[in-house]
Amino acid sequence: MDRLIRARAPIEPYRVVKDDLLELYMPAVLRAVTPEVVGALDTRIEPHLCRVADDGTITLPAVGEAPVAGKTLIEVEAMVAGIYYPKYVTSRPSIVARVLEYHTDTVSVLGAVGNPGLYALRGNEMSLVSLLMKAGGVAKEGATVIRIRRADGAEKVDPIVVPMKTLDMPFEDVPLEVGDVVEVERLLPKELMVMGLVNKPGVYPYPEGVQYNLMQALAFGGGVDNRADPQYAKIYRQTEDGKVIAAAFKLDSAAFTEASNIPIKPGDVVAVEHTAATRTRQFFAELLRFGLGFGVTAQYDLNTNDR
């Protein structure tokens, strides 16, 4: 979370937006001030509530509308004091402003975050990093791509490629708009699959910083099934454009020793596939195993009967 915070652009003071409800603490005398009456005796401080209109203005007692949208609270205080002094009062009034109710916009985040869902963000929180922080950060298993979609389904910006395993954020913050949907694609664990005519087919982890080859992949699978005596092993690999390519290697050739050193990448599938010959050999191997088992059982029964 600290890294997320540091990745943000420098945090600026809150700036007022339309629909905010402001509370101004100001001298009560300002409520009845006129150009002809100088109020300097009533020192009571009273709150004045005002909603920021669509045009970014608020209504002040006695003087009317004043533009506040886009201003910080300190700037609002200085502006209001400047409106009353020195035109209406002889001394500069003390004005304190705060936001009683913030206007919020709703955005949603899906996928590999701590708490996916809908979030109501204030005006100064309408950014990608702020949303990720509210959603508990990127999931511990990491993320690969972040997509931002408008309410109509169109992508707002190009997908942000984030090949990360930690909370480091190697991208600039992106402003959000009401109705945006942020999709954080999960970083899948690096694995390789060994299947087919091997003794232990399955999915095996592919740790960082190592490089496996075809021979090692077959070893993960417990070696080939000698009963079927397979002749080929195939490597299936998905390219960046989504296509699947395959390469076959003979297991009984002298060239296999060299080919077995071909590197296996995370996500590859190593398959020792059936052929007509392997199916026949496997069938007779099973038949022979069954026949041997039957013969041993029959011999045991005969011996028992003899006794």
Q: In this structure, what token pair is assigned to residue 116?
A: 């996916």
pLDDT digits (tens, 9 = 90+) for 206-240: 887 788 888 888 889 898 888 777 888 889 988 76
Query: Which pLDDT does position 38 carry in this prediction?
Result: 44
Query: Which pLDDT does position 164 carry in this prediction?
Result: 46
CB atoms within 10 A of CB 29: 21
Q: What is the dihedral of CA 25, 28, 32, 34, to 10 degrees?
A: -80
Q: How sure is the predictor about 130, in pLDDT bands with cuts at 50, 70 and 90?
A: confident
User: Top-level CATH class of 104-186?
Assistant: alpha beta
Give dist(CA 257, CA 302) in Å, integer: 50
pTM: predicted TM-score of the whole model, two decimal places: 0.54
Main-chain phi, psi angles of 234, to 5 degrees: -120, 145
Query: Which pLDDT does position 276 carry in this prediction?
Result: 67
**pLDDT reading at 167 higher than 50:** no
Q: Where in the chain is the domain with CATH 3.10.560.10?
A: 104-186, 191-278
Query: Which pLDDT does position 293 carry in this prediction?
Result: 47
Least confident segment among 103-107, 108-112, 170-174: 170-174
Q: In this structure, what token pair is assigned to residue 87?
A: 């035109």
Residues 32 and 107: beta-carbon distance below 8 Å: no
**pLDDT reading at 170 higher than 60:** no
Average pLDDT of 250-276?
Answer: 76
Average pLDDT of 123-144?
Answer: 84
DSSP element (H, E) containing 220: helix 214-220
Q: Where in the chain is the domain with CATH 3.30.1950.10?
A: 18-101
pLDDT digits (tens, 9 = 90+) for 26-55: 887 676 555 554 444 455 777 899 999 999
Residues 98 and 77: beta-carbon distance below 8 Å: no
User: Top-level CATH class of 191-278?
Assistant: alpha beta
- Between 60 and 238, the more confident residue is 60
Give dist(CA 191, CA 270) in Å, integer: 11
Q: What percent of the chain has pLDDT over 70?
A: 70
**Beta carbons within 8 Å of 278's beta carbon, 6+ residues apart:** 197, 228, 229, 230, 231
- Between 160 and 78, the more confident residue is 78
How is domain 18-101 classified at the architecture level of CATH? Answer: 2-Layer Sandwich (3.30)
**pLDDT reading at 13 higher than 70:** yes
Least confident segment among 129-133, 142-146, 271-275: 142-146
Residues 185 and 147: beta-carbon distance below 8 Å: yes
Query: Which pLDDT does position 57 carry in this prediction?
Result: 96
**pLDDT reading at 16 higher than 60:** yes
Query: Which pLDDT does position 299 carry in this prediction?
Result: 47
Query: Which of these, 157, 170, 222, lies nearest to 196 by C-alpha position?
Result: 222
Range ranked top by mean pLDDT from 10-14, 76-80, 183-187, 270-274: 76-80
Average pLDDT of 87-92?
Answer: 84
**pLDDT reading at 295 higher than 70:** no
Query: Which pLDDT does position 257 carry in this prediction?
Result: 65
